[in-house]
Structure 1
């Protein structure tokens, strides 16, 4: 370890002198540390780039398989009359439904009566199986209604205080629902005898079906009858075309944002005067100043990067080439997806996709399977015929393969690890290994140089001290 000293015989600040001398000696080491930091930043930016490409690759991966488009949905041509809901296990199917009559509850609505209390009287009320007796003595219509509701016999009573009418409705519906009254029912403005509800009458594909309620299930489709139809209503389960469109639009939007990000990274400005800061430089700066400085030092590290340019060109090429298929569509433009031109927004929009949503929707609605095939078609040619294989490969597969290939190039350059200083056999792993070796050698040399400077100054101090001692001795001899 170097022992630092201050000049006593000479009166010089030797520590400061050595520190100043070492500043020049440290320049090569500082440059190596800056190169290492720049390499680490570039490696991190490649990792961010790979994460971005992986996200697009995952989106393309979902488009590669027809099963990911098989989402079904239940539809009704008039959901205000017949509401359709899909159940688990539903299959593609279509039905014609005509609602002639809804199932109703047994209902009684009385005539107007006095709202004052009854002086006497008795009624019996039944749902057809279990009659109950209620006395009317000294009870108001509201009291009678409350007592009926407490019976728990499936009949709801209410009193219209505005029109002074009592109403009874069975909780059950269909022709088997019943309300039966007896006794002094005229006091309540009601009539004796049973009242029944009605069953629903529905035509299913032209055949009459009677229902005791307003619900119907047909092979995994749950139907809720809500009104009378003036004609047939088409209900069924079919491919969710909106889901197909949404998946394609999600890919297009992510593709465009990825192209934007790739171009932005490839065209970043380079600020050559902004090198990575040393620890000493950071000590004299605020956190904000350090952040602003390093943002410029990191800028342009991947400018005109060959992998980025290859990725952009590969993606465009794979989406431009027509698909060899026997289907109705063989290009993305057939379904309304095309590349933007200069007129669509200038140079910055070139290479990005635009969508004619009306054309896309029509293609999906008219030929959903053909649209799906455009993205999912599997090649019949083997790997020994790469050109034929790619021509037969669906667009999602093409993008997936292209991105997988480009991602492999990035991994070869930066390695698989997440540690910025990880040493492996990648390009940056070898670069960092070499820089670390040079830094160790340089710092070992710096220690030796610093020791040499101190030894030289110590020798100087000792020599001056000897001269001072000799001068003092001579002075004493000469009296």
Structure 2
């Protein structure tokens, strides 16, 4: 903006006059800037809410559409110290008998003492000083594979140890204990696959490797329901069960059955996520519109403290989605599904209509519940819900008595809710896919404000320039008059 010097001849406060004359255009510019800022805040609110809805959609709601969310099973063992069991989805409900005959062991060798004269060998001892050393190679076999390292009289035991470790790779562990003067070797894996042996060369013999005491690796052996199984590890995968043997034991009873607590926990998780979303919807929808709080101009912000500005703007932000039609539509749709009845198949094969209320899941009393909590579901007997913890737990009773019926009900409810949200989040001309609000339209509106702000800025500057030119002409005319007046005064003054 050009520097303007005005009022020097007239004595007028032309800045204030022109500001007053162009105030309507300044107000228009301020309004556009404020509206664009408010739109930005609204976009941020929607993005945050949309993220929560999509998380619910892809989380518990999605998984609860399928039977795998309900086929939780658990296996207990009569001797839990001897065996641990992980139960897979395909495991059968059954009582089985297990005996653990032997555990898998890794191969292990304690080498013979290595002597250098009358002293025990150390890591720093050179091979040439070791009793009986001769040869230039040590060969060993592990898991049926032959490996070898080169050695010489100038090498130290530390050199040999390093080469053995490198050559063995992920098959064997090597160590040399200076306190006993011996090599120790152990298989890295249990079973027979890592069994090893050393050749009978003089080098290997001098280092106590081919003459050491070897305990070969062995397989684990169990008998399940009369059938024998072996494994190189202590873990067995049998018919949906992952059985890990911890100690030898006989006649262990394994009982596999439906994990009703797991079903209950999944339903409780779904209810919690639903409640979180509905609470958010209600809070935003029922918020005070705060219409008395208009957007602040830069001048107004300058006249307030930072805290005052923050509090003012938060009042506006909190009410941006108050009474929003989109939120209202989603809330109503989800509430209608939750209140619906679904035809389910009972364990005796008959069909009957059930609702969440039939299982003791319902909202609180309308008049005794806070406005933003009226959509929230409560599970009777839930120990974490003080409002219903004292009620009879119908849900747990239903899961215990007829888990398939409960699964049928929640599968239908979840699918219905999932489908509804899918429809509400479909991409359109104004919104992207998986978006509940018109993000494309709002982005277009933001761009339109850029044009409006630019045009309003130009109009304000044009109006200001017009008035400055007029006042400049006036100042120029007054300057000439003052100059002429001064000349006449000088003329008459000079003749006196």
Q: TM-score normalised by the shorter chain: which range applies?
A: 0.5 to 0.7
- Compute the displacement of 1:476 (Å): 3.6
Identify if the C-alpha distance between structure 1 residues 81 and 336 changes in structure 2 by more than 3 Å, giving closer, same or farther: farther
Aligned residue in 1 for 2:356: 332
Alignment of 1:87-236 (within 5 A): 91-97=91-97, 219=239, 220-222=241-243, 224=245, 233-236=253-256
| TM-score (norm. length: structure 1) | 0.63
Equivalent residue, structure 2, for 1:353: 377
Are 1:63 and 1:375, in contact at CA under 8 Å, matched by a contact in 2? yes
Given candidates 401, 420, 423, the residue that maps to 1:402 is: 420
Runs of at least 5 residues in structure 2 that lack an aligned partner in the other structure: 104-181, 185-221, 383-392
Hey, what's the Cα distance between the residues in 1 that align with 2:420 and 2:316?
31
What is the alpha-carbon distance in structure 2 between the residues aligned to residue 29 and residue 450 of structure 1? 14
Q: 1:372 aligned to 384, 407, 425, which one?
A: 407
Of 303, 310, 327, the match for 1:291: 310
Residue 460 (structure 1) aligned with residue 460 (structure 2): no
Q: Please give the alpha-carbon distance, in whole angstroms, between the structure 2 residues aligned to 1:68 and 1:446.
A: 64
CA shift, 1:235, in A, is 2.1
Instruction: Report the Cα distance in structure 2 between the residues aligned to 1:453 and 1:322, rounded to whole angstroms.
Output: 73
Q: 2:282, 2:298 → 1: CA distance?
A: 33
User: What's 1:36 paired with?
Assistant: 36
Gaps of 5+ in 1: 105-149, 153-201, 377-393
For 1:44 and 1:210, locate their aligned partners in 2 and report how far apart those are by CA, in whole Å.
Answer: 60
Quote the residue 2:141 is aligned against.
none
Distance in 2, matches of 1:315 and 1:103, equals 57
- In the superposition, relative to structure 1, how do residues 208 and 297 fare at CA in structure 2: closer, same or farther (>3 Å)? closer
* 1:300 shift after superposition: 1.3
Is 1:247 matched up with 2:266? yes
- 2:65 is matched with which residue? 64
C-alpha deviation, 1:253, in angstroms: 0.7
3-state SS in 2 of match to 1:324: strand
Number of aligned residue pairs: 367
CA distance in 2, matches of 1:300, 1:473: 69
SS of equivalent residue, structure 1 residue 269:
coil
Name the CA shift for 1:53/1:103 in 2 (closer, same or farther; >3 Å): closer
CA distance in 1, matches of 2:317, 2:24: 26
Going from structure 1 to structure 2, the CA distance change for 1:69 and 1:17 (only over 3 Å counts) comes to same
User: TM-score normalized by structure 2?
Assistant: 0.61
Residues 1:342 and 2:366 are matched in the alignment: yes
How far off is 1:285 after superposition? 3.9
Summarize deviations over 1:66-94 as a string: whole Å, max 9, x none: 23444543x22645576441277962242
Partner of 2:456: 442
Q: Distance in 1 between matches of 2:13 and 2:20?
A: 11
Q: Contact 1:92/1:239 (CA < 8 Å) preserved in 2?
A: no
Q: In the TM superposition, what whole-angstrom CA distance separates every residue of 1:336-357 from its partner, at most 9, and x where no partner exists? A: 4233333773554432211135
> What CA distance in whole angstroms lies between the structure 1 residues aligned with 2:489 and 2:21?
37
Query: Could you report, residue by residue, the CA deviation over 1:210-242 in whole angstroms, capped at 9, with x for unpaired residues?
Result: 99xxx896643426587999x984523x44433
